[in-house]
Structure 1
Amino acid sequence: MTFTHHEETPYPEHPFAEIVRILGKGKKGSRPLTQEEAHRAMKMILADEVLPVQLGAFLMLMRVKEETPDELAGFVLAAWESFQIDNDGLVDLDWSSYAGKRRHLPWFLLSALLLAENGITVFMHGASGHSAGRLYTENMLGYLGLSCANSVAEARQQLEQRRFSYLSLEHFCPKLHEIIELRPILGLRSPVHTLVRLLNPFNAPYSIQGIFHPSYRPVHQLAASLLQQPHMAVLKGEGGETERNPDMECLVQSVHHGELSDENWPALFPRRHVKPEGLDPEQLAQLWQGSFIDEFATASVIGTAAIALKLLGKADTQQQAHELAMEYWKARDRLKFNRP
């Protein structure tokens, strides 16, 4: 039995086959997708118009070559078109949380709640469980007496009531959540892990993202620029979350109205701390309430909040941003976040 060249096959070609061919046509013949092609591809994926074998091929071909800013922008635009969310200016800061923490507790949660206490509305989105042995945000909020939202409507309610809400990806884009869940089957992360960080479903004017691999930082930055996101910052966060590690220098790459900038934030300690033996999520509330004292954790909370405050234009310099974050922390309402 002989297989003929694709132009001569007797069966009509599946519309998604062209996308797979562009990405997979050998070393010399393949090329990245244009923004328009990426948009079309993701539209078909989200509409369930792609066979599982095609989706697997697409995800792994993308993974091998890595996403371009144009591809990411096309994917995000298709995702935006699939959301049923009113962008009415409710959210100030979009905060993505997809990595999970392994070496340290998610101190960034306290940074986000500190901003919320000071009048900044923070929407956090993420997914849990795709990597074993990590602490995911949605499982951590209960330790602060907070519940996750289970729908866009509930998220909106929480944002109005307490200026903070966390909503899992499965509740606003179930198809992308399903693809993230393929990680144990494919053995690798896919371009969806990058794409979800850029989603900003409430179209907040400010967004902040953490990544693990430094090479992704400029890709996020350029994609945000193509998407005309007014203000976005991306950093190599602790464990891949949006969290500044106070023991290390932190490069933050930003976009402000199409203008790209890079800024180094210095380490806050001369030498590194020893990572804790085990992780006790009870310490999140204890640190906030002042019954647990830890200089690394406190510097993490303040340092991460400072980066967000500078992004938000609440301070002109790193020094001012840091001082403002410290003021917020000292003045926090310590009676909050008691577990029910």
Structure 2
Amino acid sequence: MGQPPLETHPFAPFIRTLGRGQKGSRSLSQDEAFEAMGMILEGQVEPEQLGAFLMLIRVKEETPDEVAGFVRAVRWTIQLPENIPAVDLDWSSYAGKRRHLPWFLLSVLLLADQGVKVFMHGLKGRKDNRIYTPQALEFLGLPVSDSLAEAAQRLETHTFAYVNLERISPRLQQIIDLREILGLRSPVHTVSRMLNPFLAPHQMQGIFHPGYLAIHQGAAALLEQAHMAVIKGDGGEIEASPDSSCRVLSVNQQRCNEEEWPPLLATRELKPKSLELELLPQLWRGEIEHKYGTAAVINTLAVTLQMMQKQSRREDALAMATEWWQTRSKDLI
């Protein structure tokens, strides 16, 4: 008697769909992406399958439908605290900074100083030459919460909280860590940025590769995100570079918009020889002047204020951001 035919692994059809070649392959539907990511998160996928799946999507680039399906699946697995805080703004930080300091953190502090409840999530960091947000927060004396429950508790009495991805979804962190083995980023980087675990009505996104702007925008619309803006930020973080133009793609109640913001500064800023974190609190307290840093803070804040419907025109958003900067609580850090 011959050997019985081998059963096809349940995850194999997803790889087959993506990898049949130029004429036979296609992207996943949102429901297929949801099912595939669900199997990955539940450990129902072989390591070889996971690597093939991630790289097939990386080569063709993920679609808005795939990202939306992946995000929905991850959200389904996140253990939320019983008392979910009313967060105003979700802010992701997954890239790290190596050209300029993370000036965007001062933009976030301005929002928090004005009573906007901001939840931030991101990567703990890699062994490279970048400054990651947890490192900067520690330097500024701002706490990093150990869990979503701790962040929720903090947001009951404060206006800012941060949690590392590994505390939100350990499995996603494990997949991101495969970058050192695979040699490439994976779609999980996009998914992590869009998690918005507390479902804040406003969401800011930063990417490095311009081609991902429309992907983030489209996925946000599919996820019915009320208000979202995505920019090609400095280093891939949510920081609107003040010395170059900035494309802002946004979603406002299912309407997709695009606007080009001209640079605030007349000339390009040279990369500093070193990144000195002490400049952040010194600028905040008014102990030093820093033309680029101040412009980066104001520009990033203005994009956020426009996305949050605080102002509709760029000029008015910049004026409001400037006023917030000039009237900040200098003893906050």
For Structure 1 versus Structure 2, the TM-score category normalised by the shorter chain is over 0.9
Inter-CA distance 9–193: structure 2 relative to 1 (3 Å threshold): farther
Q: Which amino acid aligns with 1:256?
A: N
Counterpart-to-counterpart distance in 1, 2:325 and 2:58: 41
TM-score normalised to the size of structure 1?
0.94
Corresponding residue for residue 114 of structure 1:
110
Corresponding residue for residue 164 of structure 1:
160
Corresponding residue for residue 200 of structure 1:
196
> Alpha-carbon deviations, 1:5-44, whole Å to 9, x = none?
xxx9712111001111111112221111111110100000
2:102 is the alignment partner of 1:100 = no
Corresponding residue for residue 235 of structure 2:
239
The answer as to whether partners of 2:85 and 2:155 remain within 8 angstroms in 1 is: no
Corresponding residue for residue 254 of structure 2:
258
Counterpart-to-counterpart distance in 2, 1:275 and 1:53: 41
- Ranges of 4+ aligned residues in structure 1 off by more than 3 Å: 86-89
Corresponding residue for residue 177 of structure 2:
181
Shift of 1:327: 1.0
Shift of 1:161: 2.4
Corresponding residue for residue 34 of structure 1:
29
Shift of 1:277: 0.8
Corresponding residue for residue 63 of structure 1:
58
2:78 is the alignment partner of 1:83 = yes
Corresponding residue for residue 124 of structure 2:
128
The answer as to whether partners of 1:100 and 1:128 remain within 8 angstroms in 2 is: no
Shift of 1:89: 5.5
Q: Which amino acid aligns with 1:252?
A: V
The answer as to whether partners of 1:206 and 1:231 remain within 8 angstroms in 2 is: yes
2:300 is the alignment partner of 1:304 = yes
Alignment map for 1:1-40 (pairs within 5 Å): 10-40=5-35
Structure 2's unaligned 5+ residue stretches are none
Q: Secondary structure at the match of 2:121?
A: strand
Q: Secondary structure at the match of 2:228?
A: strand
TM-score normalised to the size of structure 2?
0.96
Corresponding residue for residue 265 of structure 2:
269
The answer as to whether partners of 1:130 and 1:183 remain within 8 angstroms in 2 is: no
Counterpart-to-counterpart distance in 2, 1:182 and 1:196: 14
Which shifted more, 62-71 or 314-323?
314-323
Structure 1's unaligned 5+ residue stretches are 1-7
Shift of 1:130: 3.8
Aligned length, in residue pairs: 330
Counterpart-to-counterpart distance in 1, 2:174 and 2:300: 30
Q: Secondary structure at the match of 1:325?
A: helix
Counterpart-to-counterpart distance in 1, 2:240 and 2:49: 38
Counterpart-to-counterpart distance in 2, 1:203 and 1:145: 27
Q: Which amino acid aligns with 2:278?
A: E
Counterpart-to-counterpart distance in 2, 1:235 and 1:297: 18
Q: Which amino acid aligns with 1:290?
A: G
The answer as to whether partners of 2:84 and 2:152 remain within 8 angstroms in 1 is: no
Shift of 1:166: 1.0
Give % identity.
Answer: 54
Counterpart-to-counterpart distance in 2, 1:236 and 1:200: 19
Q: Which of the numbers 222, 225, 235 marks the counterpart of 1:226?
A: 222
Shift of 1:131: 6.3
Q: Secondary structure at the match of 1:149?
A: coil
Corresponding residue for residue 333 of structure 1:
329
Q: Secondary structure at the match of 1:42?
A: helix
